Amino acid sequence: MTASGASAATNSQQWQAESYARNARFVADLARPVVDLLAPKAGEAILDLGCGDGALSLTIAARGANVTGIDPSPSLIAAAHAGGLAAVRGDATALPFTGCFDAVFSNAVLHWIQDPDAVIGCVARALRPGGRFVGEFGGHGNVAAIVVALRATARRYGLEETEVSPWFYPTPAEYSERLRHGGFHVDYIELIPRPTPLPTGIDGWLDTFRAPFFQSLPSDKHASIRQEIIDLLAPSLCDSQGNWTADYVRLRFAAHLAA
Ligand code: BEZ
């Protein structure tokens, strides 16, 4: 994946390998351009921050790099081990590495972490001089329609904004500033609108990415609230054939430390 390099402060988001593989395999499948931006070289030591079940780590390893994965989810780490990846359980805001890696890579993870500066600091420490930090995550405006539908519904039940949208979706200007403050030179950063087909529809997406929202609501209301959200979203995100496409906006970047 990697939707799960998040810290313990991830608003109770829990990742299960089986449902992630069923509903969110596209997350890794669509990440090829980020791997290309990383341009892994044979023999490089690379950390996959939020490796999930290791699908992308193995793609990077296939290019000859020595990849280590880290992820907080026991279920996903077990899946990564089963696939043959060297992976450890850990938190992106407390990485246990100093000067070990030529590059740190991260896909679809950093939007889950509420303390981006702590992550940037840990990544800088984990890298060797001249090391690269390359990744992609949700950028400003990501899944805006979905967030508005959740918010409209949640207001009636007094839910907090963090239960609606626990994500960090910065602009390029904001994230560049944070990277520079953390000691990085920014080589590339871009916001990329990417309408994203949802293979298991909005139901599968809500199950995988926003389960805690429903857990915060009265259980006898789950079905009707879910239907209300689907009805709000369908005119914008569902076509006449019943195919759902989410309004993803990605923030892709490449940065490096001084040599
Ligand atoms: C993800 O982790 O892939 C994700 C999370 C929230 C919105 C969109 C994508």
The amino acid present at 156, given as its one-letter code, is: R
Contact 142, 111 (CB under 8 A): yes
Q: Which atom of ligand 1 is nearest to the CA of 248?
A: 8
- Please determine, looking at this structure, whether the domain spanning 8-143+167-198+247-257 carries the CATH number 3.40.50.150: yes
Q: Tell me the per-residue pLDDT of 231-252, one tens digit each, with 9 for 90 and over.
A: 999 999 999 999 999 999 999 9
User: 210 C-alpha vs ligand 1 centroid, how far in Å?
Assistant: 9
The model carries a pTM of 0.92
Residue 114 and residue 18: Cα distance in Å, rounded? 26
Q: Tell me the per-residue pLDDT of 170-187, one tens digit each, with 9 for 90 and over.
A: 999 999 999 999 999 999
Q: Tell me the per-residue pLDDT of 9-40, one tens digit each, with 9 for 90 and over.
A: 334 678 788 888 788 888 888 999 999 999 99
Q: What's the 3-state SS for 60-77? A: HHCCCCEEEEEECCHHHH
Contact 194, 249 (CB under 8 A): yes
CB distance 108 to ligand 1 below 6 Å: yes
- In the DSSP assignment, the letter for residue 117 is H
Helices (H), the chain: 17-29, 32-38, 55-61, 74-82, 116-126, 144-155, 161-164, 172-181, 201-209, 211-215, 222-237
Instruction: Choose the residue to mutate in 13, 143, 146 for probing ligand 1, maximizing ligand atoms within 8 Å of C-beta.
Output: 143
CB distance 20 to ligand 1 below 6 Å: no
Residue 247, φ and ψ in degrees, nearest 5: -90, 65
Instruction: Choose the residue to mutate in 10, 109, 142, 148 for probing ligand 1, maximizing ligand atoms within 8 Å of C-beta.
Output: 142
Residue 45 and residue 23: Cα distance in Å, rounded? 30
| Domain boundaries defined on the chain | 8-143+167-198+247-257
